[in-house]
Structure 1
């Protein structure tokens, strides 16, 4: 089978599973097989879908349903191998927890959160280096007008200002402020802020506002965060924000430039745009593929 080469920005048209670098760099996971690390990335991908669909137990914990058959199909492996990989993730490193439902129903799978307070490697995760590509990627410019305003904000003139940015810091102790500093370092690396500031030299204020907004959100003491007139559970918003990267920030920034609607509440606009970026960016790339196919570029 002969495959073609990549041209221009075509490499950006794919969707990717995210496997935390910590699984490859931390000694605690050194004996974890590559297949189980890959499976963990697939389970993380399903977690975001479960969170959006509201799959939570009575304690508010997000769970997924991912059967052995689905694992076999995803990894092209046998039944014994699929079961072995689940056992490895659960019993060897405690990265997942399975809960039996009985009566022939599939198990519920809880994917353990690297950023939870009780997880022993949280601080290392926040401080670890993240891979950043040395290749300069130019954000595609064929952004349709209809897509650029796709931030799930129907009313950009709303005046409800979420006060968590100012009130949540009262009474914070030194350890909590140190945690916030760790999150800020993590997101600076995740967003590759130095590259973004070079790519958008006249947007420094907006970039810093987005960085501070993301850090303030994940460190908030509130139980819910207002996103486009809808109160989302903090842990759901936090899980989305922890996956944001440089491409998402570039996407939001470029979409803002194309937006012709008056925005009176910039913080709420940015919150919604950042929260929806992982979903809308995939729609954007799909539209690009269709555009290239229609014009004979693919």
Structure 2
């Protein structure tokens, strides 16, 4: 790749926008990159008119797509998405069985370290309904006693009982 100096008439394309206020936050660097990718998609959604009935912009970006785009693992990206939700920077809303709308919140820094969409106001997004889909079991899974490990059987003498070698016997 060839590099050159940035000029006054250059337009920057294909970059990840990260708000400066988040650089001082306790978010991990991977989480900042994930947020930047989501925000970049949010800008694109804004241009394309992807908003809900309340006017909130949303994106559709799956964890495998994010992982591939950032060169990270799916579990790392999922942990970063969870971290962004905990920080109040995104909200995920399921739309059916497979699609999830991710609503991006613009940071308005507060003293608590949390971020909100409109200077501390509560979100005006509709609350999701708890639905059970056909084939989904809503009861908790049964808790069973785990099988004993090989380590436990060896240590309690199940495997190596004392054997006395008699004269004339061989192993």
TM-score exceeds 0.5? yes
Post-superposition Cα deviations, 1:177-225, rounded to whole Å, max 9, x if no partner, equal xxxxxxxxxxxxxxxxxxxxxxxxxxxxxxxxxxxxxxxxxxxxxxxxx
Partners of 1:76 and 1:42 lie apart in 2 by: 12
Match of 2:64 in 1: 69
Match of 1:24 in 2: 23
Q: Following the alignment from structure 2 to structure 1, what is the Cα–Cα distance between the partners of residues 105 and 48?
A: 18
* Residue in 1 that maps onto 2:152: none
Are residue 54 (structure 1) and residue 55 (structure 2) matched? no
List, as ranges, runs of 4+ consecutive aligned residues in structure 1 with deviation greater than 6 Å.
none
Cα deviation for residue 112 of structure 1 reads: 0.7
**Aligned pairs for 1:111-260 within 5 A:** 111-114=104-107, 116-119=117-120
Root-mean-square deviation (Å): 2.4
- Taking a change above 3 Å as real, the CA distance of residues 55 and 8 of structure 1, as seen in their structure-2 partners, is closer
Cα distance 1:35–1:10, how it changes in 2: closer, same or farther (>3 A)?
A: farther
Deviation at 1:43, TM superposition (A): 0.9
Q: Return closer, same or farther for 1:112/1:8 CA change in 2, 3 Å cut-off.
A: closer
Tell me if structure 1 keeps the 8 A contact 2:21–2:107: no
Query: Hey, what's the Cα distance between the residues in 2 that align with 1:54 and 1:5?
Result: 35
Structure 2 CA distance for partners of 1:101 and 1:22, relative to 1, 3 Å = same
Given that residues 97 and 111 in structure 1 are in contact (C-alpha distance below 8 angstroms), is that contact kept between their aligned partners in structure 2? yes
Mean Cα deviation higher: 94-103 or 109-118? 109-118
- Report what 2:151 is aligned to: none
Corresponding position of 1:109:
102
| Structure 1 gap segments, 5+ residues each | 121-298
Question: 1:61 offset after TM fit, Å?
Answer: 1.2
CA deviation vs aligned residue, 1:65-110 (integer Å, no higher than 9, x gap) = 111121011111111111111111112x11000011232x221100
Aligned residues: 112
Distance 1:11 1:90 in 2: 38
Counterpart of 1:100 in 2: which secondary structure? strand
Partner of 1:95: 89
Q: CA deviation at 1:57?
A: 1.5
Which protein is richer in helix relative to its size? 1
Aligned to 1:271: none
**1:113–1:119 CA contact under 8 A, matched in 2:** no
Q: Is the 8 A contact 1:98 1:107 kept in 2?
A: yes
**CA 1:11–1:70 in 2, change beyond 3 Å: closer, same or farther?**
farther
Q: Bigger relative contact order, structure 1 or 2, given CA contacts below 8 A and separation 6+?
A: 1
1:101-139 Cα shifts (integer Å, max 9, x gaps): 232x2211000123543338xxxxxxxxxxxxxxxxxxx
* TM-score normalised by the chain length of structure 2: 0.57
Please give the alpha-carbon distance, in whole angstroms, between the structure 1 residues aligned to 2:9 and 2:3: 10
Could you tell me how far 1:21 is from its partner in structure 2?
Answer: 0.7
**Structure 2: gaps (5+ residues):** 109-116, 122-171
Question: How far apart, CA to CA, are the structure 1 residues paired with 2:8 and 2:2?
Answer: 11
